[in-house]
Amino acid sequence: MSILLISSSAFHFTMAKNQATKVRSAPEAASLLDRTDKSILRALQRDASISNVALAAKVHLSPPACLRRVERLKRSGMIGATVALLNPQALGAGMLVMIGVVLDRSTPESFSDFEKAAVKISGCMECHVVTGEFDYFMLVRTADSESFNRLHAEQLLYLPGVRQIRSFIVIKQVLSTTQIPLA
What pLDDT, on a 0 to 100 scale, did the predictor assign at position 96? 98
What pLDDT, on a 0 to 100 scale, did the predictor assign at position 31? 72
Last residue of a domain, one of 84, 113, 128: 84
What pLDDT, on a 0 to 100 scale, did the predictor assign at position 24? 56
143 inside domain: yes
- Domain shared by 99 and 76, yes or no: no
Q: Give the total number of structural domains in the chain.
A: 2
- Domain shared by 30 and 78, yes or no: yes
What pLDDT, on a 0 to 100 scale, did the predictor assign at position 32? 79
Query: pLDDT for 83-98, tens place per residue?
Result: 999 999 999 999 999 9
Last residue of a domain, one of 32, 54, 84: 84
125 with 141: CB under 8 angstroms?
A: yes
82 with 4: CB under 8 angstroms?
A: yes
178 inside domain: no
For residue 145, the domain's CATH number is 3.30.70.920
C-beta neighbour count of 56 within 10 angstroms: 20
pTM: 0.78
- 13 pLDDT higher than 90: no
What pLDDT, on a 0 to 100 scale, did the predictor assign at position 183? 81
Query: pLDDT for 120-160, tens place per residue?
Result: 999 999 999 999 999 999 999 999 999 999 999 999 999 99
For residue 73, the domain's CATH number is 1.10.10.10
Question: What separation in angstroms does the CA of 45 have from each of 20, 111, 125?
Answer: 22, 33, 20
Range of the domain at 146: 95-169
What pLDDT, on a 0 to 100 scale, did the predictor assign at position 23? 53
- 6 pLDDT higher than 50: no
d(CA 44, CA 89): 25
Mean model confidence pLDDT for the chain: 88
51 inside domain: yes
20 inside domain: yes
